[in-house]
């Protein structure tokens, strides 16, 4: 496209590995020399490593182009993802030799005879494996079997492994330690230095029939070198795209702005790869966070709604002046049944809306839901709603559970009620009968304040105080200076 415009004979920055355009930096020269020496001296295993795009394959193909020896028999493997059996079949195929068995042992034995026959004819067999980092570990381990094919003086087959740095890490695995010890020659191709990058661009343009000074501005070349980080493949891509863009703008001299635009476009192309990793991580975080808060929320609700049943020997006191022997379950602040006034009686006939009710204490016990029949059916706690007015401190509704709590009628000889010891039944005026508001002081808790006002504290009291003071979320954490409202209660269970 741009050849005639920039007076070039060939595309100088084609990304296909072309030995004609090979630029031998110090690293490339060392790698090429290692391959030549290792093969000619029959050293067995040779390993060449380098980052993606540094020119490993170009060096390998350059060697194949330069070496025209008739006695050299090469087997070039491009796809390294092979089992050892498949690799042996590829070797037989490249040598034009029939493979009459599928057993690995027999295949290796037959290959040994082929190599011995070739060695007698002065042939040197070379197995070149590109992208060797993709070889399965089992295949690499079995390659030792091929290195054992040797005479008393020379190796019958030379194996060149060319791959990325992952190949070196693979060879460091404990299972491959024997193979690692057999590698006679190693070479690593590093990225180009800034000076070598400049020479690389000049070399490629010169091979294409052009002059760098007539095509690229100096600042443009400097930016190309900086962005490529010494990777020949990136140098080719940036330079080629810069020439295409310059041709589009009809710029005889490619300047830094064009290079900047090209680099920006190339970065956009690579952004999705990075976003795939970050996007996956972000998605995982977004999935985990809601579950964390959901579990915390459910745990909080569970703690608030847990029903606590007191021991059988405990006698709890009801705030309306009537004693009860049964322990009362804890009531959640969000219970809708607390929105209206309620009174508690031991039988339907004991319900009263006004008047002094004498409490009676009874001996409580827990009834198991086992279907046992008793001579005297237990009397249940009944709740009566009294509309209007503020909510007094009352007992919560009966909760059906495997250990439901029932009350029994008092067993008294004369039927006279036993006076309650509940301080709320006292005729002495106290804050519980007129209702108060208290300001929280340092060190005080809701339970302490309840004891000051009502004379004692219980889970039922705390639950109802939370109902009347919705700004309190946690009874164990009240703030200094908060106003706490204590609802009024009198002997008739009604506010004054």
pLDDT of residue 430: 55
Q: Which residue has the tokens 């709740």?
A: 383
pLDDT of residue 231: 95
pLDDT of residue 302: 65
Cα–Cα distance for residue pair 225/228, rounded to 1 Å: 5
Q: Which two tokens stand for residue 32?
A: 């090429």
Q: Are 359 and 417 in contact (CB under 8 A)?
A: yes
pLDDT < 50 positions in the chain: 269-276, 307-429, 491-496
Q: Which two tokens stand for residue 315?
A: 């006698």
Neighbours of 100 (CB within 10 A): 9
Cα–Cα distance for residue pair 199/197, rounded to 1 Å: 5
For 156-206, how does the pLDDT look when each residue is reduced to its tens digit (9 = 90+)? 999 999 999 999 999 999 999 999 999 999 999 999 999 999 999 999 999
pLDDT of residue 433: 55
Q: Which two tokens stand for residue 198?
A: 């400049």
**Domains (ranges, CATH) in the chain?**
26-189 (3.40.50.300), 193-305 (1.10.8.60), 336-486 (no CATH)
**Cβ neighbourhood burial of 167 (10 Å; 0-12, 13-18, 19+):** buried
Three-state SS string across the chain, please? Answer: CCCCCCCCCCCCCCCCCCHHHCCCCHHHHHHHHHHHHHHHCCCCEEEEEECCCCCHHHHHHHHHHHCCCCCEEEEEECCCCCCHHHHHHHHHHHCCCCCCCCCHHHHHHHHHHHHHHHHHCCCEEEEEECCHHHCCHHHHHHHHHHHCCECCCCECEEEEEEECHHHHHHHCCHHHHHHHHHEEEEEEECCCCHHHHHHHHHHHHHHCCCCHHHCECHHHHHHHHHHHCCCHHHHHHHHHHHHHHHHHCCCCCECHHHHHHHHHHHHHHHHHHHHHHHHHHHHHHHHHHHHHHHHHHHHHHHHHHCCCCCCCCCCCECCCCCECCCCCCCCCCCCHHHHCEEEEECCHHHCCCCCCCCCCCCCCEECCCCCCCCCCCCECCEEEEECCCCCCCCCCCCCCCCCCEEECCCCCCCCCCCCCCCHHHCCCCCHHHHCEEEECCCCCCHHHHHHHHHCCCCHHHHHHHHHHCCCCCCCCCCCCCCEEEECCCCCCCCCC
Cα–Cα distance for residue pair 297/287, rounded to 1 Å: 16
Q: Are 46 and 39 in contact (CB under 8 A)?
A: yes
Cα–Cα distance for residue pair 242/229, rounded to 1 Å: 17
pLDDT of residue 480: 82
Q: Which residue has the tokens 């002059």?
A: 211
pTM recorded for the entire structure: 0.54
Cα–Cα distance for residue pair 331/306, rounded to 1 Å: 9
pLDDT of residue 70: 72
Cα–Cα distance for residue pair 452/423, rounded to 1 Å: 12
Neighbours of 493 (CB within 10 A): 26
pLDDT of residue 438: 84
Cα separation of the two ends of the chain:
99
């Amino acid at each position: 496209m741009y050849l005639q415009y920039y007076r070039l004979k060939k595309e100088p920055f084609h990304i296909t590995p072309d030995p004609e355009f090979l630029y031998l930096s110090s690293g490339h020269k060392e790698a090429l020399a290692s391959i030549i020496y290792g093969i000619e001296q029959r050293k067995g295993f040779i390993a060449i490593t380098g980052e993606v795009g540094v020119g490993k394959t170009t060096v390998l193909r350059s060697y194949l182009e330069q070496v025209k020896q008739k006695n050299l028999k090469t087997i070039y493997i491009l796809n390294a993802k092979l089992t050892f059996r498949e690799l042996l079949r590829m070797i037989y195929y490249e040598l034009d030799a029939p493979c009459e068995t599928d057993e690995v042992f027999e295949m290796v034995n037959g290959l040994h005879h082929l190599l011995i026959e070739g060695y007698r004819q002065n042939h040197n067999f070379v197995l070149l494996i590109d992208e060797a980092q993709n070889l399965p570990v089992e295949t690499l381990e079995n390659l030792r079997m091929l290195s054992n094919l040797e005479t008393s003086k020379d190796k019958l087959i030379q194996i060149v492994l060319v791959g990325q740095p992952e190949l070196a890490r693979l060879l460091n695995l404990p299972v491959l330690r024997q193979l690692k010890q057999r590698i006679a020659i190693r070479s690593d191709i590093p990225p180009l230095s800034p000076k070598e990058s400049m020479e690389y661009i000049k070399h490629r343009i010169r091979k294409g029939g052009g002059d760098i000074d007539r095509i690229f501005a100096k600042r443009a070349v400097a930016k190309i070198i900086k962005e490529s980080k010494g990777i020949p493949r990136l140098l080719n891509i940036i330079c080629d795209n810069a020439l295409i863009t310059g041709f589009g703008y009809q710029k005889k001299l490619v300047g830094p702005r064009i290079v900047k635009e090209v680099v920006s476009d190339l970065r956009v192309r690579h952004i999705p790869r990075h976003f795939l990793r970050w996007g996956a991580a972000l998605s995982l975080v977004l999935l985990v966070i809601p579950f964390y808060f959901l579990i915390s929320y459910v745990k909080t609700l569970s703690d608030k709604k847990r029903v606590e049943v007191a021991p059988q020997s405990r006698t709890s006191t009801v705030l309306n002046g009537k004693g009860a022997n049964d322990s009362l379950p804890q009531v959640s602040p969000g219970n809708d049944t607390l929105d209206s006034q309620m009174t508690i009686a031991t039988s339907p006939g004991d319900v009263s809306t006004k008047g002094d009710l004498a409490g009676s204490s009874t001996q409580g016990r827990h009834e198991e839901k086992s279907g046992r029949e008793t001579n005297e059916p237990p009397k249940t706690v009944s709740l009566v709603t009294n509309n209007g007015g503020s909510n007094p401190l009352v007992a919560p509704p009966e909760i059906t559970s495997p250990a439901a709590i029932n009350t029994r009628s008092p067993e008294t000889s004369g039927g006279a009620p036993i006076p309650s010891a509940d301080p709320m039944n006292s005729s002495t005026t106290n804050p519980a009968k007129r209702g108060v508001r208290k300001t929280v002081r340092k060190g005080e808790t809701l339970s302490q304040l309840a004891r000051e006002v009502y004379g004692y504290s219980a889970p039922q009291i705390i639950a109802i105080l939370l109902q009347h003071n919705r700004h309190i979320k946690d009874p164990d954490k009240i703030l200094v200076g908060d106003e706490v409202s204590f609802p009024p209660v009198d002997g008739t269970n009604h506010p004054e």
